[in-house]
Structure 1
């Protein structure tokens, strides 16, 4: 097709309900311009690209250090182990590490991510440098002054930082996002975070029933990070984070991978772990791995008028061709070898 347009045909997962239909999708200028039924046959699967709704990619430089300690000793600002490592690492090495992790996300089907970025304005600039030219768009939630030059404020627990009121006020005044870590190790900081009416809560691993009801009533999405929670010892049962209860209450959850220091930023692994441990319906898990794109101002789903961030999967390359449920197979079995083409058209 001319003028940078292209068409792709296959068994696609369409809309927010991820319904399977055999279609031809036409893309022009990076936007899906039409989705038409197709009577032919194609073995290709076309699915929305993923959005990793919570990362700390700077931690890549500390990957899999043999460390021990409490959650606070490892990651609490400003003097947790990760913060000391970040402060001691040359900027060029931080950029190189973040870029390598972004490339790993692209290889596993991720088209965007939301990162809590340490290091103030220079930390934000370093992540932008790391992401430059890669088909994966960052939403950067700055800290330590980085809020002023990023997409919003990525605030740790209200018990860990001073001046949250001013940070939120400035972000709101600039029309930017406000996100809080809350409820990771206990529920004690969730109510205080909710007083700020944030756009996003991360973790809520130990949210109480009352808190969950309040979060759902306020229509605040929760980013859950199951593998990180288990590895850091703040979760040890399918009740935490409370994915099943969030769904029962009609709430929204997104999937994130959290600290690259501990967990590979791979949403395919995250979905498979979540399916095995939490037994949530595969369609809900897949939706959670896509819908965080709302943080970037888009739906993330395959719909006319939406930006085209698509994955083409060739199930013939493996035993996936025997699938009786595309959505379940993507969630439980897909790995990077099954992604035959990333059609990630960024404008």
Structure 2
């Protein structure tokens, strides 16, 4: 419940999609209620190349303009792009996710494809366009500063003047592009897998949230250690961390799998992980916490269907053992 996720026996009353009352009850219900997830970094267009056999350095796979994913995206038809992204959005909805932030390739057309793909599910979404797509999106999604010339300054100035959110990939394969990203005073950073202690302090002092995507980092070979990304150092510095699943090409957009990975590999406590899994909603100035007068964006988990009813720590079980078979009343039901 609330922002601290304490266990309470309650009945929640929802009227016209808004939580109007939270009543204490004496019995322990079979249904667990917890906030919906917000996937704070996706590349949903990559669905067209899901689990393709591909090896090589990260630049050859995902870096613009001619990485493998970009070549495949250019070859895909508009209908295929929309259908693929819709399938991944449905997957997110069916696994407890109520919102996402996507870095969308393909310019204006690419941003429109994503809007069309989300029309059925209508998940809360923040679209970060590029190559002109930012002009009809919520923000500008910048890949590493390595991929841009002098024109980046103008693009950022124009996006900021239009009131758009500025987000950067930085520190994914090394720390060399973090300082150059920070020079643009971004609103958020993605990855920071190899951020140095000095850079972490700068990020914390500037109040910039960081989205980490650990499974993607491991899959793409930019880390093989629980020390990268330096999550504990970032948490201790006071950085607000959010969770994202990154490229659907390699990683399923399933926040429960991302949470479990963080718990086992990085040893982050369950309460902090849950905060990371819902905090990305702040991108849209939203709060997914379960409070009276909040919009009802919560999951219902039927423990009677599974072994969850034997749990001695509900939050640990949600983080480590969440099974979509137990979810009730998803966005698509």
Question: Which category of TM-score, normalised to the shorter sequence, fits these structures?
Answer: over 0.9
1:227 aligns with 2:208: no
Offset, 1:36: 2.5
1:93 aligns with 2:80: yes
Cα distance in structure 2, aligned partners of 1:31 and 1:325? 28
Cα distance in structure 2, aligned partners of 1:28 and 1:124? 33
1:79 aligns with 2:66: yes
CA contact (8 A) 1:225 1:257 kept: yes
The alignment partner of 2:281 has SS state of helix
1:182 pairs, out of 158, 170, 183, with 170
The alignment partner of 1:128 has SS state of helix
CA contact (8 A) 1:298 1:307 kept: no
Cα distance in structure 1, aligned partners of 2:178 and 2:331? 39
Structure 1, 196-205 or 298-307: larger mean CA deviation: 298-307
Cα distance in structure 1, aligned partners of 2:11 and 2:164? 37
Alignment-derived partner of residue 255 in structure 1: 243
Bigger relative contact order, structure 1 or 2 (CA pairs below 8 A, ≥6 apart):
2
Cα distance in structure 2, aligned partners of 1:164 and 1:30? 42
CA contact (8 A) 2:103 2:141 kept: yes
Cα distance in structure 2, aligned partners of 1:254 and 1:335? 22
The alignment partner of 1:102 has SS state of helix
CA RMSD of aligned residues (A): 1.4
Offset, 1:137: 2.2
Alignment-derived partner of residue 153 in structure 2: 165
Alignment-derived partner of residue 217 in structure 1: 205
1:150 aligns with 2:137: yes
Alignment-derived partner of residue 284 in structure 2: 296
Alignment-derived partner of residue 321 in structure 2: 333
Cα distance in structure 2, aligned partners of 1:192 and 1:337? 45
Cα distance in structure 2, aligned partners of 1:18 and 1:170? 40
Alignment-derived partner of residue 118 in structure 1: 105
Alignment-derived partner of residue 47 in structure 1: 34
User: Structure 1, unaligned stretches of length 5 or more?
Assistant: 1-13
The alignment partner of 1:330 has SS state of helix
Cα distance in structure 2, aligned partners of 1:46 and 1:282? 16
Alignment-derived partner of residue 243 in structure 1: 231
Alignment-derived partner of residue 266 in structure 1: 254
Offset, 1:24: 2.0
Cα distance in structure 2, aligned partners of 1:342 and 1:199? 31
1:103 aligns with 2:90: yes
User: How many residues are treated as equivalent by the alignment?
Assistant: 332
Offset, 1:343: 6.0
CA contact (8 A) 2:93 2:331 kept: no
CA contact (8 A) 1:155 1:181 kept: yes
CA contact (8 A) 1:107 1:336 kept: yes
Offset, 1:29: 2.8
CA contact (8 A) 1:311 1:343 kept: no
The alignment partner of 1:79 has SS state of coil
1:200 aligns with 2:188: yes
Alignment-derived partner of residue 63 in structure 1: 50
The alignment partner of 2:145 has SS state of coil
The TM-score, its normalising length taken from structure 1, stands at 0.93
Offset, 1:135: 4.6
Offset, 1:143: 0.6
Cα distance in structure 1, aligned partners of 2:330 and 2:298? 6
User: Structure 2, unaligned stretches of length 5 or more?
Assistant: none
Structure 1, 158-167 or 126-135: larger mean CA deviation: 158-167
